Amino acid sequence: MSDIVRPIFVPPEGAPKVAQAIVGVMREVEEVPKSGTNKEHKYRFVEATVLMAHVQDAMVKHKLVLSPREISRAVIGGILIMKYEFDAYCEEQAVINIGSYSAACRFQFRAGSYDDKATAKALTSALKQYSIALFKIPSDVADIERDRDDFEPPKRPPPTEPFAPRHDDPRDDLPPEAMAPQADEPPDEPLDGDLRAFRHRLRAAVNRSDADRLWRANAVLLNGCSDQIYNLLRDDYQDRWDVAPPEPQGA
């Protein structure tokens, strides 16, 4: 990915209105709460929609416009990386390339599907983070994101229902050899017949509801496998649907 360097353009007489507008927004937006929660990694974060609601009102009040321009993009290892430059306008004055920011978003999943909203997510992330940097917006001081030693890793679900094949699926009659996992990142530990069949059905689920039912119905099978196999199956689910697997029924 080429890194394009552009000069910062400011009128010869300067752009005092732009500077005054930025300072005005800084005065208006004193703090934004961390209203979002990442349950997987157990931390709180500033939601883009909440931040933009605060910033937009202040920018309208001070007649400031912040316009992003995409200058490069690349896909590396299934991750979309986009770089933006931002231009600031206030009435008849402007600062071209007042700053830049890069954002990354998962674009391709292991199952072969693509996220058609990846570009929008990257733009939202870049605009959010650059706005926080430009306007020096603090978040909850008492909840600064940091490594936490008191958080436990996600626990494996307790057993609920025994493994039961779905007889309405014609693939249930196939031998285990026909249900071997795909060749991408094979586990060091071999999968037995039931686990191979479960992984095959999990990858073949046509919608998330079917995947959720399959995951909950096979809690005993998941609880009985090794940590390595469990993490592999958990990654299969999360890479396909971009969320963590559901908790089993009755847990």
For 205-234, what is each residue's pLDDT tens digit? 878 888 888 888 888 888 877 777 887 888
pTM value?
0.51
The confidence score (pLDDT) of residue 49 equals: 85
Tell the burial category of 80 from Cβ atoms under 10 Å away from its Cβ (0-12, 13-18, 19+): buried
Please, what are the domains in the chain? 16-135 (3.30.390), 170-241 (no CATH)
**164-209, pLDDT tens digit by residue?**
444 444 444 545 444 444 444 444 456 677 888 888 888 888 788 8
**29-63, pLDDT tens digit by residue?**
878 888 777 777 777 888 888 888 889 999 999 99
**72-95, pLDDT tens digit by residue?**
999 888 888 999 999 999 988 889
**pLDDT band with cut points at 50, 70 and 90 for residue 162:** very low
The confidence score (pLDDT) of residue 53 equals: 86
